[in-house]
Structure 1
Amino acid sequence: MSGAIIGDVIGRPYEFDHPVRTKDFELFTPGMRFSDDTILYLAVAHAAMNGLSFWDTLVEFGKRYAHVGFAKGFEAWVANEARVQGDSWANGSAMRSGSLAWIARDMKEALEMARESAMPTHSHPEAIKGAQAVVCAVRVGIEGGTKTDIRREVAALTGYDLDRTVEGIRPTYKRFMVHCAKSVPEAIVCALDATSFEDAIRNAVSLGGDADTQALIAGAIAETLFDVPTEMSERCLATLTPHLLEIEGRLATIRLSKARR
């Protein structure tokens, strides 16, 4: 079921050493597995589902999965016992926020939860905007909105230019762009410009940028617009640890209860 996790698992092998600028790439690679993106996406979901502090839960998951490898800034934040609120503008805030659209009771609550989930490490206005953009897009999709509805609502909230295409973005897109303002709108476009769930993932990876994060965001949105192929779901979820799989299972129950009929 989880479009976000599928995007991360498929995108991760193309993140650093093997970027691609084409949609014609191998979906299932021998070394595919979840990254820190899935861990923090599920950490936020776990906190929200259990009424826990986002701050404390991010620290807990950061320590528990330290061996997986996180962004250097997040690693330093977790390791510093005197940690203070971070002001990163990077797309980690947007990557981890999507589940909140399913857990919240309405759009207003979803946007506030997105802000709260970003604040421990990503309090920069652009990072908060990125987190809220993803939640807004997913929530509109959950509520039965069309691609046009998502484009309109997210643009009104954020000012993002979503009237673009993947083919128009790809030729000049810079390698490994992680700034929210320059990676989150593009990830959203990857979902809105897709013809299927798989096409959304291929769009995101094909930009040659922060492949796992952008595919996770695109997958989280595309899940509300298209059917998720069973094989993609099964093969990607099979890479999770039992602990992560249990959290995903609880989130899946919520998604199934709210999915459009």
Structure 2
Amino acid sequence: MMGAIVGDIVGSVYEWHNIKTKDFPLFRDDCFFTDDTVMTCAVAEAVMNGGRFGSWIFSDNREPYNSYGNGSAMRVSPCAWIMDCGFCARTGMWPSNGRARVQLSAEVTHNHPEGVKGAMATADAIRNAISLGGDSDTLAAITGSIAEAAYGIPDWIKDKAYSYLDEPLKDVLRRWKKFISKD
């Protein structure tokens, strides 16, 4: 989850000012967290204790808009932390509870089959994502969540990204760390 947040913050300043190089500072004074961080934390909150976002996910009144954009993949990383990866390795299939949670997190806004697939597929990388141009904060958030699982995150990067967050988001991260360490 922190990988998604790091990617979002680093990519925030390049979304409207795309660059086509991998030679740039990860953190600048004008970096900031965006809705990608907020939505990722909202999914974590819903996973932990069914906050308002969780109520929206499970509500009969939610109104998705058949999107197949990248938002569903951007916010899904908390779901990956609670999946039974041993089951995936043994069978080559997703555990039913993990697949359902990923699908629910996507369908709130991205209920098009391609939007759901994007969330399912997302369960030095951030620089590559940003250098592609386009929606840099979201591309880097998606890439960061994958890179965290594959490589981890150096403490200095975690600490720097954490310093950009406001207190409510820091609170979600503290509670998330306790939540996932229960297993």
TM-score (norm. length: structure 2): 0.84
The equivalent residue for 1:225 is 150
The equivalent residue for 2:110 is 122
Quick one: percent identity of the two aligned structures? 43
The equivalent residue for 1:14 is 14
The equivalent residue for 1:49 is 48
For residue 77 of structure 2, give the secondary structure of its aligned residue in structure 1.
coil
Aligned with 1:99 (options 63, 73, 78): 78
Count of residue pairs brought into register by the alignment: 171
Q: 1:236/1:201 Cα in 2 relative to 1: closer, same or farther (>3 Å)?
A: same
Q: Which amino acid aligns with 1:111?
A: R
5 Å matches for 1:1-261? 2-16=2-16, 18-52=17-51, 54=53, 56=55, 84-105=63-84, 107-108=94-95, 109-135=97-123, 199-254=124-179
Q: 1:227/1:101 Cα in 2 relative to 1: closer, same or farther (>3 Å)?
A: closer
Structure 2 residue runs without a partner (length 5+)? 86-93
Q: CA RMSD in A?
A: 2.2
Alpha-carbon contact 2:62-2:108 (below 8 Å) kept: no
For residue 14 of structure 1, give the secondary structure of its aligned residue in structure 2.
coil
Per-residue deviation at 1:257?
6.4
Per-residue deviation at 1:256?
5.4
The equivalent residue for 1:168 is none
Q: Which amino acid aligns with 2:5?
A: I
Q: 1:44/1:227 Cα in 2 relative to 1: closer, same or farther (>3 Å)?
A: closer
Q: Which amino acid aligns with 1:228?
A: I
Q: Partners of 1:25 and 1:253 in 2: how far apart?
A: 34
Which structure would you say has the larger RCO, counting Cα contacts within 8 Å and 6 or more residues apart? 2
For residue 247 of structure 1, give the secondary structure of its aligned residue in structure 2.
helix
TM-score (norm. length: structure 1): 0.60
Q: Partners of 1:208 and 1:99 in 2: how far apart?
A: 25
Alpha-carbon contact 2:76-2:122 (below 8 Å) kept: yes
Per-residue deviation at 1:53?
6.3
Alpha-carbon contact 1:40-1:96 (below 8 Å) kept: yes
The equivalent residue for 2:90 is none
Per-residue deviation at 1:217?
0.9
Q: Deviations over 1:81-107 (max 9, x none)?
A: x86232111111111111101124454
* Ranges of 4+ aligned residues in structure 1 off by more than 6 Å: none
Alpha-carbon contact 1:103-1:254 (below 8 Å) kept: no
Per-residue deviation at 1:40?
0.3
Q: Which amino acid aligns with 1:48?
A: V
Q: Partners of 1:251 and 1:55 in 2: how far apart?
A: 15
Q: Deviations over 1:192-213 (max 9, x none)?
A: xxxxxxx011111111121111
Alpha-carbon contact 2:47-2:54 (below 8 Å) kept: no
Q: Partners of 1:114 and 1:20 in 2: how far apart?
A: 31
Alpha-carbon contact 2:68-2:110 (below 8 Å) kept: yes
